[in-house]
Amino acid sequence: QLSNFTVKEDALSSLVDIFETRCLSMPEYVHNPAGNPQNTLLNFTIRFDQKGYRVFDKQRLLELFRQAGEVERIVFELISGDAIQTNRTLGSYIDLRLDNGENVICFLTVSSDDEDWVNGSFSAIREALQKYKNRNALIRNSWVQLLIQVFGLFAGFLVSLWGASQIAPHLSIENAFLISFLLVLLL
């Protein structure tokens, strides 16, 4: 699961380069005597302005990124023929999904029978993304949410006290302050 980073054109270019490098070291590519690139598939999906495009080269991806008003999602997918045929049960693949939505989780998935390739791929992509970390984690965390809730509760209590002190003198009922306090608190 990934969060709190900003992807710009240089980050996109760097990630594509890493995926191309990982493609050349993919077990299915290396163990193929002819070095047949047909056994591996590298593609990118970019969604922006309510439209989605699947591209297969870096230049086209960067071109679409530049013309985008607001990028909603970018998906990097490197997958072997074996993984495609077995619905990702066997074979190697890398899946990096970057989403601009607030409640949508970005994630990186790497799988293969070759542990060294998995660890190398995961580390390379994660290190590249670390360069583009932003400071949103300072605001988007559970402690800030707790502080906002406590502050809101305290402010609501103070407004209710003030409102009750303003309304209670005008009421001629028993426990006027308590009733007006609860009324303002509910509002």
In whole angstroms, give the CA distance from residue 163 to residue 35: 77
pLDDT score at 110: 93
- pLDDT, one tens digit per residue, over 92-108 is 999 999 988 777 788 89
- pLDDT, one tens digit per residue, over 34-46 is 655 567 889 999 9
User: Does residue 137 carry a pLDDT above 70?
Assistant: no
Which of 31-35, 106-110, 154-158 comes out lowest in average pLDDT? Answer: 31-35
Q: Is residue 24 exposed (0-12), middle (13-18) or buried (19+ Cβ within 10 Å)?
A: exposed
Instruction: Give the rounded percent of residues in the chain with a pLDDT score beyond 70.
Output: 92
